[in-house]
């Protein structure tokens, strides 16, 4: 069974700092990997999707990388802002868009 791990569980950084969130998964046979953002009491918002054949995806200040062979992905956030404070979830899809989620990293950006 696919296991997805996210480290650290929580992270606090001062505004303006660049940061990296980590995700690892046990089975490299994946369709794609997605990073989501979840605000307290809210649903999930998709940030980036990396297909299994891709190495990275970028959207604004966000950059996600994928190393399928080693079972790792990172989400890089540049010049962090207080509005980036949220829980970030990593999910992998073995196919048919069924997702296996990590438990998330709770990010706090301090003004």
The residues that touch other proteins, with contacts defined as CB under 8 A, are: 4, 31-32, 34, 36, 41-46, 49, 51-53, 89, 91, 95-104
Please state the closest distance from residue 50 (CB atom) to other proteins, in A. 10
Please state the closest distance from residue 17 (CB atom) to other proteins, in A. 26
Residue number with CB closer to other proteins (32 or 80): 32
Rounded distance, CA 92 to CA 86, Å? 20
Rounded distance, CA 105 to CA 11, Å? 7
Residue number with CB closer to other proteins (18 or 103): 103
CA-wise closest residue to 14 among 86, 79, 97: 79
Residue number with CB closer to other proteins (26 or 46): 46
Rounded distance, CA 79 to CA 52, Å? 28
């Amino acid at each position: 069974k696919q296991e997805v791990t996210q480290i650290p569980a929580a992270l606090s950084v001062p505004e303006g700092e660049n940061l990296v969130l980590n995700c690892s998964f046990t089975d490299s046979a994946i369709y794609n990997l997605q990073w989501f953002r979840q605000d307290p009491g809210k649903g999930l918002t998709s940030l980036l999707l990396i297909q299994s054949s891709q190495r990275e995806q970028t959207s604004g200040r966000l950059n996600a990388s994928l190393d399928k062979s080693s079972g790792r992905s990172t989400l890089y956030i540049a010049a962090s802002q207080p509005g980036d404070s949220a829980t970030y979830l990593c999910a992998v899809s073995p196919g048919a868009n069924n997702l296996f989620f990590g438990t998330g990293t709770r990010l706090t950006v301090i003004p």
